[in-house]
Structure 1
Amino acid sequence: MSLDHHSEVPLYRRADASVTARVDDLLARMTLDEKIAQLHAVWLKLRADGQHAWRTEDFAQRDTGVPLDTLLRHGLGQVTRPLGTHTVDPKAGVEAFNALQRQMVEGTRLGIPVMAHEECLVGLMTKDATLFPSSLNYAATWNPGLVQRVGATIGEQARSIGCHQGLAPVLDVSRDPRWGRTEETFGEDPYLVGVLACHYVQGLQGERRDVLATLKHFVAHSASEGARNHAPVHVGPRELNDTFMLPFEMAVKLANAGSVMPAYHDIDGVPCHANRELLQGVLREKWGFDGLIVADYAGVNLLYTHHGTAHDAVEAAAQTFNAGLDIELPGHECALHLKEALARGIIDERTIDAAVRRVLRVKFEIGLFEAPYADPQRVNLRSEAASAVAYDVALQSAVLLKNDGVLPLRNDGVQHIAVIGPTADDPLALLAGYSFPVHLINSGETIPSSMTTPLQALRASLGASRVSYARGCAIIEERGAGAPVFPGDVAMTMRDVDAHDALLSTDTSQIEAAVAAARAADVAIVFVGDLAGLFQSGTVGEGSDTDSLTLPGLQQTLLDAVLATGTPTVVVMTGGRPYTLGAQDARVAALVMAFAPGEQGGEALAALLTGRENFSGRLPLSVPTSAGAVPYVYNHRLKSAGTPVAWHFGSRYPFGFGLGYTTFAYESLELAVDTASIEDGSFDFTFTLKNSGAREGTEVVQIYVRDRIASTSRPVRELKAFARVSVAALAQARVRVRLPVDMLNFTDARGERIVEPGEFDLMIGSSSRDLPLHATLTVTGPATRTLPRMWRMVSDVSVE
């Protein structure tokens, strides 16, 4: 008689069984300690020989006094950044991760594999991975397909090192560029953020969703009080839903995002990590989210160390897991106390079981039990194809804000160019804060030798003899550690303030040489901007907020001196936020905003400045007239300007704006119908886009709508559709748009999305300010309509 081999194998180990059956079987076998082990991570410096070392930080993983072997004997939910924690050869890093995985699979009672997560916002944050441009660059392309290619490329690299979850994208909708994390956002419009987020998520996760994208920071982190990191958020429920939740809703419902990360701040006094209404009520129950909710680093222990809503780690753990959290990251400071929380009666085992069930389900769904190990010989973090994607983003994201004809530079062998400024020959100035070299700047991490600076690229393009160089000034003389812990409510002395100000260079000795170089040149190109760095190790980035939109340090002084020579001056601004040039804006001959264009940024900028390529980037956020104008966003309400209108209100360069080396005309708007049913209607219309210039170019067509009369005050305009359209010189294209009535919704007092019958202004053009085509749309119906869960969230734009 033959034996059924299945009877010898636990059900949870059978790949042919359903995920639900496997989860049920495994959960029934687990002890309480084994369950709790699945609800936290450990932050380690892994070693291939298994002699792993703790990675401790004051703000994230303090020494809990638990021996590592004791901690790991029951299993582990996740391991934090196995290759991104410190500089390690990728193959050696994979071998070290495999050693930990082997310990989990072969050395624990149930053999549950561990998931690994890494940062991946601007490329996989590990040694040798492709250094992509910033999220603001992604957004400035207005190219969802390209953003999806970025996500797919990062996903491929993540899979090659055994990474199962990436902590990106950031869906915070920018509201104040003084906030240091502005560089991590897709800009200030919730629809643009949502569309790009969906494509990034789809690219990263792939069809199998075997690498989880992590939507963060849920929710409204970018609306912090005074644009200060972690500060409270003051927004009403309607604005919260219409502006800040919309991108998350889109990415959950349309892109099937695998994970969500709560934010550090509180909203109306309730910390997001303990907000059951958000994590359970909205995410899971209202939207149907089926993935993992993972803590932001130290977000759980901040409930008792900062927010003061919990007495200790025990209460903090109970609060956040009761609210709906699944995994504490990056370590285990609070989750280990869940047994004590059970003993106190402030959490029940059913709640713990529900979280464990979700963790196990994901591990089964991604195939972790069948393929727990990564192959060190298949590591693939750098390729020509990946670099080409990075180049395309850098090329399509640079925004030409002003040009009096000085660009493109002449390639006649005669014109002499003076390249000036602290960011012209600094590779770090091309990188965002969550790139590996910047994130580990205090660990001696070096910049890849393959990176080309703008100076090097311009010399290669124009000839070294035609390009002189003078740095003029430094932004920071020596990069080093910034604030050692998260900022808090501390007594500030003048000594503290002076120490902070000392970060910026005060050395003016190089300005004279820069002035001489400008005088001797036909054109001066001044490269200015930011240096990304976490927690005040730079001038922008997480924890590196500002109180000003004036260029950091001596850069404005340098620019003033160069402009005083009378030499036509081009300003190229890189960095994580827009800065204002004040009165000098009128004196510069050309202005380019390149954000943080990544490892290919130098090459892309040289191609654009010399005219080999055409500018096509458009602003994903407004450039306020001054710091006094913020918060300023294009989709404000009419009364935002004050009465009478405040003189400092407004934007010098509006959302959606950008120039190129050709011009476009918008003509012949035709509406198939100007009325549509409130129940299931759509507006279909076409218009002609003409390239009236002498060279091919790409325009970003933008469609805005204003609700004329509504039951609540509505924005002056809102983006509802967009597309990149390439048109040959002196040619034209016919653009067709379908706008679902559902997209004219807003949130009512119940927290539901509704559409009201009435008239809407349709506005079409090249930016939120330049809108030459207008029409009136009418939504018909007997009453207000409440939208269903899967309402139509995206417009369709095609080109004939």
Structure 2
Amino acid sequence: MTAIYKDPSQPVAARVADLLARMTLDEKIAQMHAFWLILAQDGKHTVRADSFTGASDQASLQKRLQLGLGQITRPLGSHKVDALSGVRAFNALQKTMMQDTRLGIPVMSHEECLVGLMTSGATLFPSALAFGATWNPVLIEQMAAAIGDEARSIGCHQGLAPVLDVSRDVRWGRTEETFGEDPYLVGVMATRYVRGLQGEKRDLLATLKHYVGHSFSEGARNHAPVHLGWRELNDIFLLPFEMAVKQANAGSVMPAYHDIDNEPCHASRHLLTEVLRDQWGFDGLVVADYVGVSLLYQHHGVAADPAEAAALSFNAGLDVELPGDDCATRLSQARQRGLITEARIDEIVSRVLTEKFRLGLFENPYVDENAIRLRTPRALSLAREVARQSVVILENNGTLPLNPAAQPKLAVIGPTADDSLALLGGYSFPVHLILSKDQQAQAEPNVITPLAGLRQLFGAQNVSYAQGCAILEERKYGSPVFPGDVANSTALAHESPVSQNTSHIRAAVSAAQQADIAIVCVGDLAGLFQTGTVGEGSDADSLNLPGVQQQLLQAIVDTGKPVIVVLTGGRPYNLQGLEQRVAAMVMAFTGGEQAGIALAEVLAGVVEPSGRMTISVPKNVGAVPYYYNHKLKSAGTPIAFHFGSAYPFGFGQSYTTFAYDNLAVAARQIDINTGDIVLTFDITNTGPRAGVEIPQIYVRDKLASAVRPVKELKAFGRFELAAGERKTVEVRIPADMLNFTGSTGQRIVEPGEFDLQIGASSSDIRLSTEITLTGQTRTLERHWRMESVCQAAV
């Protein structure tokens, strides 16, 4: 007789209950952790080990695999292996799980996929910061669907993306992983990313991270404590997670490394269970950030040993320890010590098994090695389109767009002009691989650099090149030890590896002098744990360009030639006054493998510039943390000289001009319970060429029971207009969206007057009016209306 759990016609709940009843305690615990292995096609797998993750016991590996396994960590993304070989090796592991274990429970596979599937040969997409700069949720959903297709094709069941951290301090290295500084924009983009990645069936789990507040760490230092009260945490940092859970049915959540008010996120039952599951209705898996459970006893000091750390996390709401089994295997000890009950373990394992049944793994455990799909024409086209739409014009004295037909002589200069890795984020496979022991950085042949793109569009004979300087002379792994691993981290002597070599600037000046226009490409290099100048564990103490790039740029500007500055990378930088002396300045982020041609197309006017900033560029490092949706008193009293941003949230120039007029509001009095703010206005392209405008609608609560920001984004749209064309835009904002967290800790909407501001950026407000919410203060229900509509009027 077939066991109930092996019968696909049975309900999932019945299959889970049947299987759970057959499992020993050790078999249950095996489902609560992963192994990080280097898989082999012959089944002779080896344990991956490094100073960050530690290692599982190689000697007992085969014996322990007989108990089953919850997840396998990054089978194709941990080392350089071609997709076919990687899939065959994964299938070998799965065969062991299905045929050689007592119960035949399949293993789940997870991979990183923030900027594309992080495996060799996959499409290299732009950074998340570039995703946000498109202000195009539809495009991001399409792109995420392409990433999901690649992931499914190599057997990935869970993708560790997207990042929902709301940028607050651009010195933070992981700024490049965020969509921007506004919680609503982040929530919309994340929701679309999740929908695209998971698909309608949720047969691939997206993972929301880093839950929560990770981006507002002390001093913008990775892992550092976060100082936030519940109201601000809920209004700014939890909102995107709530949106993605409720609107996109996100399949997984990953807690963050830090502590909030002395409580580590990995040990917070309030966050992981009460808010996430009880209040929001989340029904997926909570997976640990890598070694996050271990840090409870190694760094945070809230657990005495691995057993207590495991009990703390799993009692709080964790389901699976990643990337290995540092603490989970001590759960039997924790149970004997009374730190966790078997009933709790059963509850957790039931969730893990439920997802495995939902995903269809018991019926289809193996990957079709003939169906691998990487770098398809569709994926490459989407990568280029995202890169195009993300380019932001910050300054332009009329030099742009360039005219290829005029065959201008261009000198392309700078350390990021022809460095393929400078166009990739920290969680792209070629950059991430630098973390491997003794792995040197290697050029990525599929990446089109700015130099290559400009030569392709303007002709190689018209484009010269000089590097000018390097950011890092050599890129390799070798980060300093973690805090706590030395007696006194404050006295640790560690010199920056950033290059100070100026010997190549003279040659770059000569190249500029012989050209009509100099295009100077500067910025940073993504790299984890100080293998670069931005990225996880690569935080900054300044907003000056790393190394001697400022000296290079100064020397080129001093030639008197028109200079176009192209900033690439994962955070904005100050040019120390040169912003006003250059002919143009462009923010291109890390644009992925199609970045160079996309940039060239925008500079040449083949593609109209439509990118808008989703992070403000602080005037000075003294202004950080700076973000547009600050409080009125954030400026200081009197207003600090260094406060503010010349290029704020929502800012970006076009090659044409737009006028806003004819604002009309359907009703000034809006019912607080069921009402919508409905308004229309016209946008007219008043310039000589087609363009894209991104109107943004902000709201200011004029009187509230708690201090509110000076303005908050509540709606936005993206509209293409031909020269002279006029479009009427209709906006509908639910009254629910005017909520904030009240004194009871719940989201409330209060009656009163609100300013509505319509503009081209957070500081360029073109139209404004007022509305009034009428009725009594109300507490929002679980399912409240979380998004507005901004569309062309019919």
**TM-score w.r.t. length of structure 2:** 0.98
Residue 481 of structure 1: CA displacement?
Answer: 1.1
Q: Provide the rounded CA distance (Å) in 2 between the counterparts of 1:681 and 1:482.
A: 57
1:584 matches 2:578: yes
Give CA deviations for 1:393-434 in whole Å, capped at 9, x if unaligned. Answer: 000001000100111113244521111101001111100000
Which of 609, 618, 643 is the matching residue for 2:637? Answer: 643
1:94 matches 2:98: no
Residue 208 of structure 1: CA displacement?
Answer: 0.6
Name the residue aligned to 1:748.
742
Residue 490 of structure 1: CA displacement?
Answer: 4.4
Q: Which amino acid letter does the alignment assign opposite residue 57 of structure 1?
A: D
Name the residue aligned to 1:117.
110
Q: What does residue range 188-267 of structure 1 map to in structure 2 within 5 Å?
A: 188-267=181-260
1:500 matches 2:468: no
Name the residue aligned to 1:30.
23
SS of the aligned residue for 2:718 comes to strand
Which of 258, 262, 266 is the matching residue for 1:269? Answer: 262
SS of the aligned residue for 2:588 comes to strand
Q: Provide the rounded CA distance (Å) in 2 between the counterparts of 1:754 and 1:716.
A: 18
Name the residue aligned to 1:598.
592
SS of the aligned residue for 1:599 comes to helix
Is this contact kept in 2: 1:297–1:329, CA < 8 A?
A: yes
1:466 matches 2:462: yes
Q: Provide the rounded CA distance (Å) in 1 between the counterparts of 2:343 and 2:490.
A: 53
Q: Which amino acid letter does the alignment assign opposite residue 24 of structure 1?
A: A
1:450 matches 2:446: yes
Give CA deviations for 1:95-142 in whole Å, capped at 9, x if unaligned. Answer: 000000000010111100000000000000000000000000000000
Give CA deviations for 1:590-637 in whole Å, capped at 9, x if unaligned. Answer: 000011000000010011111111100000110000111000000000
Name the residue aligned to 1:520.
514
SS of the aligned residue for 1:418 comes to strand
Name the residue aligned to 2:692.
698
SS of the aligned residue for 1:283 comes to helix
Give CA deviations for 1:515-552 in whole Å, capped at 9, x if unaligned. Answer: 11112222111000011111001000000001000000
Name the residue aligned to 1:672.
666
Q: Which amino acid letter does the alignment assign opposite residue 657 of structure 1?
A: F
1:126 matches 2:122: no
SS of the aligned residue for 1:526 comes to strand
Give CA deviations for 1:239-292 in whole Å, capped at 9, x if unaligned. Answer: 000000000000000000000000000000000000001001100001010000
Distance 1:308 1:19, change over 3 A: same
Q: Provide the rounded CA distance (Å) in 2 between the counterparts of 1:649 and 1:76.
A: 53
Q: Quick check: 66-75 or 25-34, which moved more?
A: 66-75
Q: Provide the rounded CA distance (Å) in 2 between the counterparts of 1:373 and 1:12.
A: 18
Which of 156, 159, 162 is the matching residue for 2:152? Answer: 159
Q: What does residue range 349-388 of structure 1 map to in structure 2 within 5 Å?
A: 349-388=342-381
1:537 matches 2:531: yes
1:105 matches 2:98: yes
Q: Provide the rounded CA distance (Å) in 2 between the counterparts of 1:121 and 1:450.
A: 18
Q: Provide the rounded CA distance (Å) in 1 between the counterparts of 2:714 and 2:446.
A: 40
SS of the aligned residue for 2:235 comes to helix
1:298 matches 2:294: no
1:716 matches 2:710: yes
1:83 matches 2:76: yes
Percent identical pairs in the alignment equals 62
Is this contact kept in 1: 2:661–2:767, CA < 8 A?
A: yes
Residue 488 of structure 1: CA displacement?
Answer: 4.8
Give CA deviations for 1:370-390 in whole Å, capped at 9, x if unaligned. Answer: 100001111111111100000
Name the residue aligned to 1:771.
765
Residue 495 of structure 1: CA displacement?
Answer: 9.8
Q: Which runs of 5+ in 1 are unaligned?
A: 1-7
Is this contact kept in 2: 1:486–1:535, CA < 8 A?
A: no
Q: Provide the rounded CA distance (Å) in 2 between the counterparts of 1:13 and 1:63.
A: 30
Is this contact kept in 2: 1:59–1:485, CA < 8 A?
A: no
Name the residue aligned to 1:50.
43
Q: Provide the rounded CA distance (Å) in 2 between the counterparts of 1:145 and 1:481.
A: 38
Is this contact kept in 2: 1:530–1:576, CA < 8 A?
A: yes
Is this contact kept in 1: 2:164–2:208, CA < 8 A?
A: yes
Residue 487 of structure 1: CA displacement?
Answer: 4.6
Is this contact kept in 2: 1:458–1:467, CA < 8 A?
A: yes
Residue 464 of structure 1: CA displacement?
Answer: 1.8
Is this contact kept in 1: 2:441–2:476, CA < 8 A?
A: no
Q: Provide the rounded CA distance (Å) in 2 between the counterparts of 1:623 and 1:14.
A: 58
Q: Provide the rounded CA distance (Å) in 1 between the counterparts of 2:248 and 2:288.
A: 21
Q: What does residue range 315-394 of structure 1 map to in structure 2 within 5 Å?
A: 315-394=308-387
Name the residue aligned to 1:137.
130
Name the residue aligned to 1:4.
none
SS of the aligned residue for 2:394 comes to strand
Q: Which amino acid letter does the alignment assign opposite residue 701 of structure 2?
A: D
Is this contact kept in 2: 1:171–1:197, CA < 8 A?
A: yes
Q: Provide the rounded CA distance (Å) in 2 between the counterparts of 1:415 and 1:391.
A: 25
Q: Which amino acid letter does the alignment assign opposite residue 687 of structure 1?
A: F
Q: Provide the rounded CA distance (Å) in 1 between the counterparts of 2:108 and 2:216.
A: 32
Is this contact kept in 2: 1:64–1:333, CA < 8 A?
A: no
Aligned residues between the structures = 790
Residue 451 of structure 1: CA displacement?
Answer: 2.1
SS of the aligned residue for 1:528 comes to strand
1:14 matches 2:4: no
Distance 1:715 1:405, change over 3 A: same
Residue 482 of structure 1: CA displacement?
Answer: 3.3
**TM-score w.r.t. length of structure 1:** 0.97
Q: CA RMSD in A?
A: 1.3
Is this contact kept in 1: 2:134–2:386, CA < 8 A?
A: yes
Which of 613, 619, 627 is the matching residue for 2:613? Answer: 619
Q: Provide the rounded CA distance (Å) in 2 between the counterparts of 1:189 and 1:71.
A: 46
Is this contact kept in 2: 1:482–1:534, CA < 8 A?
A: no
Name the residue aligned to 1:683.
677
Residue 94 of structure 1: CA displacement?
Answer: 0.3
Residue 485 of structure 1: CA displacement?
Answer: 4.5
SS of the aligned residue for 1:514 comes to helix
Q: Quick check: 429-438 or 465-474, which moved more?
A: 465-474
Q: Provide the rounded CA distance (Å) in 2 between the counterparts of 1:444 and 1:327.
A: 33
Q: Which amino acid letter does the alignment assign opposite residue 316 of structure 2?
A: A
Q: Which runs of 5+ in 2 are unaligned?
A: none
Q: Provide the rounded CA distance (Å) in 2 between the counterparts of 1:10 and 1:424.
A: 61
Q: Provide the rounded CA distance (Å) in 2 between the counterparts of 1:111 and 1:414.
A: 66
Give CA deviations for 1:714-766 in whole Å, capped at 9, x if unaligned. Answer: 00000000011111111111100101000000001221000000000000011
Name the residue aligned to 1:279.
272
Q: Provide the rounded CA distance (Å) in 1 between the counterparts of 2:446 and 2:106.
A: 37
Give CA deviations for 1:641-698 in whole Å, capped at 9, x if unaligned. Answer: 0000010011110100001111111110011111110111101110000001111111
Residue 166 of structure 1: CA displacement?
Answer: 0.2
Q: Provide the rounded CA distance (Å) in 2 between the counterparts of 1:160 and 1:527.
A: 36
Residue 568 of structure 1: CA displacement?
Answer: 1.0
Q: Which amino acid letter does the alignment assign opposite residue 196 of structure 1?
A: M
Name the residue aligned to 1:440.
433
